[in-house]
Structure 1
Amino acid sequence: MREMKTLLLAALLSVSLGFEASAREVTDMLGRKVDVPENPKKVYAPSPYGSYALYAMDPTLLTGWIFNIDEENLPYLHPSMKTLPTIGRVFGAGQSANLEILLAAKPDLILMWQHTNEFNQKEAEKLKILNAPFVYAVDESIEDYTNIFKFLGKALNKEERGNKLAAYTEKTFTDVRNVVAKVPVEKRPKVYYAEGLDGLSTECDDSIHVQLLKLAGDVDVHRCHTSNHKGFEKMSMETVLAYNPDVMIVQEKMFYDKINTLPIWGNINAIKNHRVYLIPKAPFNWFDRPPSFMRIMGLKWLMNALYPKETKIDIKKETKEFYRLFMNVNLTDAQLQEVLHPTIEYKKKIDGATPKS
């Protein structure tokens, strides 16, 4: 019996020493020094933002999603997503995490996500049951993604990958700043962000949900202080008519498809001049809800819509390149068409995107 205990203790000590020998110290974005595995194998991100960013870094590292992925979006994702379990939410509204699945997955690193209205360090206490180190990414603005990707490169021991995504991201911001600087304020188009099935919800210009409009020249027509994190400020038709935006970007396809049949909307310059754009959403929203790294592509798309002469990009080529780099898939021409100009319903059967080689 004593001999068996000695062997068991030796085995545990060996595992412990092995972990220590293979651990690295990293400094996370809150300045915390954390020992992490040399090469993490499974990472759990309890925030949707963290899950998306982790997917961009390496989809095979994801322990599981916190939400279900719609079947029509799977062709635009890495094949490993087809079998990835859904764990559910640990924090926030609608907590539904399946702790059995989470414990069985045995993540060796936890990626926390912090911004003004997201998690704080106290909530991380709930995850100590996993007995895994956790690191924090900090996201107060879309422009933080340059540093987020650099940090994830270090935390995941994938610095080349992180630096590559960071360089693409920073170049996007630089290009946008250069274009905006050339366009006088008075010549920048006024933009209305139409949300809801009736188009009569929007966001104040200081909302996290319209950061792209701020970067694109501060062009949101609805100037106010956001009333709550959820947004969806209710509008009257009279107010929208008074704003008379030059451009409209639309969240819901149902509204987008019928807007030209609604006579009262026809009085708006954006409708008259055919400058109404439906926000791409496959596999994740390019503009908002949730405000993920997909907004980097969304910013290119928005600039192309607002400043086509100054931006001068091939949006089809840019989309294919972004999906290859960030989404780890090569879009077919049919998929590219569906992403940029979706039909009333996603095609139920479409040639699958091929994994990036």
Structure 2
Amino acid sequence: MEFVMHVVEGIFFIPFMIWIIYFLVFSIGYRIPSKALFKKAAVQHRFLVIFPAYKEDAVIVDSIRSFSKQEYPHHLYEVVVVADSMHEDTNTALRNAGATVLIPSYEHRSKAAALNLAMTSTQGKTFDAVVILDADNLVLPDFLTHINQAFSSGSKAIQAHRIAKNDNTDTAYLDGISEEINNSIFRKGHVNLGLPAALTGSGMLFEINWFRQVMPKISSMGEDKELEYHLLRDGIFTTYLEDVYVLDEKVQNRRDLSNQRKRWIAAQIDTFLLTFKELSNIFRTRNWPMLDKLIQWSIPPRIILLGIIPIWIIILILLAPILIYKWLVLYLLFLIALGLAIPNKFYNKRTFISFLKLPFIFVAILRSFMGIKSGRSTFVHTPHGEKKEDYSN
């Protein structure tokens, strides 16, 4: 029995060690001082800006009106809203704000379907790049100016710095911290160490010809993961613009958080399996960025690691106490990695109090795994613009 326990523990330990060292390396990378500098653009490019929107009457008009304040020449960009299941007065307000409004008729609803509709509807127009924003996103007036500078410098794929627009509940606040940890590890930390940044679903730019070729191949609920897969296959580096902000509304209760993560987890698993099939080709072509991404997509949600390791340590205390010490060290390294990845501005009393709610978030994310099958094929809408009960309280 003791031998079996040692074997099981050893097998269990290896992936956890890889994942936590991965976090630690890129958390340290995040703390390396660096700043991406781009020369003033000699050319002003033309952009297609797409806002996929499903039942987003509460937020989409404000987002479009805000975007219309861009300092960038208005004749050099077109805003397209894919208005799925929205009220006619909302669509009228969008048109009055200068947006092109597309009313979809597709049966299988997804963000990928909305993006493909926008690309098909603008087929005869000339653009240099496409910018993708969510219906609740707000940007500063110099957003396109900075995007144009990076694009003019040769970046074919760009990810802006998405930050929380709201922190009105503990769940939203913790979701905002989680977003920033992702920015630290998977974006800035990666770019600082010479690897492409991860996409995050909005605040993204792609060179138009590449996007037109790739987008028809994508139909899943995890379009950003699939786009990353194709970027890596094509050897395209994703630039991260740390100082170009996209304000994104965070989920306000655990029920919505669970539904949202259900879709994300399903997409991550599917893309991991797709990439794993190319493992031999990855080594043959020495596509190390794709190997890095394969490791990243193998990692369970951080909150699961935070909760599972202590439970496992308790089991070891009961069955094989001699094995707990390396797990304690590993868990300490994990906490150090997370501490490094959390931006300094979050080191305050509210963060400490919000962390007391993490066990409830752990349960909510565990619940997400129960709905992974539906997350692969069913469109899961995250409500925006409404103040709802905070189920974390």
Question: TM-score normalised by the shorter chain: which range applies?
Answer: under 0.3
Q: What TM-score, normalized to structure 2? A: 0.25
> Going by fraction, where is helix more abundant, 1 or 2?
2
The structure, 1 or 2, with the larger RCO (C-alpha pairs under 8 Å, 6+ apart) is 2
Q: What TM-score, normalized to structure 1? A: 0.27
